[in-house]
Amino acid sequence: MVVLAMGFRRDPRDIRTGTIGDPAPAFDLERLDAPGRLRLADLSGKVVVVNFFASWCVPCKEEAPVLIRVWERYRTSDVAFVGIVYQDEPEAARDFHDRMGQTWPIGMDDAGRTALGFGVFGIPETFFVDPAGVIRGRHIGPIDEDTLVRAIEELRPGTR
């Protein structure tokens, strides 16, 4: 009982997994925002922000304006954003993406293999991949602008 109670008192954003410091799992997903495929390999050499989300997720809606503001700031730089749809219907996710005004690429994780590879606990969850393809950070829950910008800047070459 005590162990269970202690677990409930922990901040879920403090959960550590084996993915930090490991190479990011390769993914090759059907794009929902445009024809084609979404592949991590195509983003080699960039800082990649990987955000797992779903249309039914209330915290995902809360963080959408933050993601949009930061994406607009970095969209023409060495930073790429990727949205990965997790446990959702393609049409609902596409509608959410459009309705929220998000313009970065999104891919459908039909079988949940990409989420499993990243060690996703729930959504929203955001991972930060360095230009060499290594996961350097993660944030569980809706992310705020300062945390997002700080994580990106820590990974950009020449900004450390």
* Euclidean distance between CA atoms 77 and 25, whole angstroms: 23
**pLDDT at 157 (0 to 100):** 84
Q: In this structure, which topology does domain 24-154 adopt according to CATH?
A: Glutaredoxin (3.40.30)
101 secondary structure, DSSP code = T
Q: Residue 36 — left, alpha, or beta (φ > 0 → left; ψ -120 to 50 → alpha)? A: left
Nearest to 49 by CA among 62, 63, 35: 63
Q: What are the 10-residue block averages of pLDDT along the chain, 160 residues in total?
A: 41 55 96 95 97 97 96 95 96 93 93 94 96 96 97 85
**pLDDT at 1 (0 to 100):** 41
**pLDDT at 51 (0 to 100):** 98
Q: Residue 119 — left, alpha, or beta (φ > 0 → left; ψ -120 to 50 → alpha)? A: left
ω before 12 within 30° of 0 (cis)?
Answer: no
pTM attached to this predicted model:
0.86
**What are the start-end ranges of the E strands in the chain?**
28-31, 37-39, 47-53, 79-85, 106-108, 125-129, 135-140
Cα atoms found within 13 Å of the Cα of residue 11, Cβ hemisphere only: 5
Domain ranges, ordered by start, for the chain: 24-154
